[in-house]
Amino acid sequence: MAKKHSTPLYLYDGDLIRARAKELKEAFEIDLFYACKANTNVDIIKLIYKEGFGIETVSPGEINAAIKAGVPISKITYTCGNIDEEEFIYVAGKGIRVHLDSLRQVEMFGKNFPGRKISVRLNLNFGAGEHKHTTTGGKDSKFGIHINKIGELKKIAKKYNLKINGLHQHVGSNILDVNTFMKGADALFETALKFPDLEHLDFGGGLGVPYRPGDKKLDLKKLGRVFAKKSDKFAKKYGKVLKMSIEPGRFLVAEAGDLLMRVNDVKNNPSKTFVGINSGINHLIRPAMYGSYHEIINLDNRNGKKEKVDVVGNICESGDFFAKDRMMPKTRVGDLLAVKNVGAYGYVMSSDYNSRPKPKEFLILNGKSRLI
């Protein structure tokens, strides 16, 4: 691909995405919604939808991408952030299932759509994730209606004759531990007992993938078994079986993506060796923003003698790096590097900073590649 096309470029393994989708369907006998903010490429959304997934969105742009991919409104959900009333009415008016994120949004919904059913996102005072910026629950989180506001929530719902038929939560991102995910799920099960008219529970996403060598892979089969057992127990206590769903994003696409780039320069300074590449934080911002680890492979010198280097980009910023103090096989100008696990939150968070163009994206599926 690198010989055929100029670098940098994003490359996605469609067969691996399908394999991850199959793993999820085998582990969970519930509704699955792809959190498309991880990768909003229409071809990727279309591929995952054809595997039997709905699509979870967080903006009108993502809704439009899902519709363009052929996803019907009935298979799209929308999780609100701090949005204005115009956007809110646009989304709710389409008939998309909306997870309301604040008491103000419940009030807005009631004024515009009185007497309807609503789903609300709760903050059950528990959060988890690989970084504080990706932890979406707990006392410091901006997301959801806090558990101590449930009384006010019910008063507003009653005022507008709204029936709370759904609860939603999302505790954080890239969770690799079954117990951590289930701690959040248990909190939602317990809180659900306070709402008598429920029809569905949504446990959000957060299912993680290993980025660092030695990271333990999430035991998806175990999680599915534990979740099913807890679900059955909850149904007996609640008195009926509810529809349940989760919203995997990263799990489906992260490992399927590679960013291919060339080495432009190598600087051997007294204290550091800098490997300069023809990409940068405008193409992959996760290392600079989150301190995220991505494996980097020298495809032209896999087995060379290792040296400690900083892999840095071509953007005019000191924070423009992909790796610091990384042991890598000796790198030479012109070598082809592959940054692993960038299928999620890679291209989708890219920009035209420094007026440099974004990379092209290619999908490999059934042995054939195409521009997407």
Which residues are part of the catalytic machinery? 316
**DSSP-derived 3-state class of residue 5:** coil
φ, ψ for residue 18, nearest 5 deg: -60, -40
Q: Note the helical H segments in the chain.
A: 14-27, 42-50, 60-68, 85-93, 103-112, 150-159, 178-192, 220-238, 250-253, 286-290
Q: CA–CA separation, 118 vs 108, rounded Å?
A: 12
What tokens appear for 303 in the block? 């087995």
**DSSP-derived 3-state class of residue 76:** strand
DSSP letter for each residue of 116-151: -EEEEEEE-S----SSGGGB-SSTT--SSEEGGGHH
Q: CA–CA separation, 40 vs 46, rounded Å?
A: 10
DSSP letter for each residue of 280-320: -TTT--HHHHH-----EEETT-TTSPEEEEEEE-SSS-TT-
Task: Tell me the CA distances in angstroms from 234 to 120, 156, 165, 231, 313, one per residue in order.
Answer: 19, 27, 16, 5, 51
CA 285, distance to chain mean position in Å, is: 15
Q: Is 161 left (phi over 0), alpha (psi -120 to 50) or beta?
A: left
Q: How many Cα atoms within 13 Å fall on the side-chain side of residue 266?
A: 12
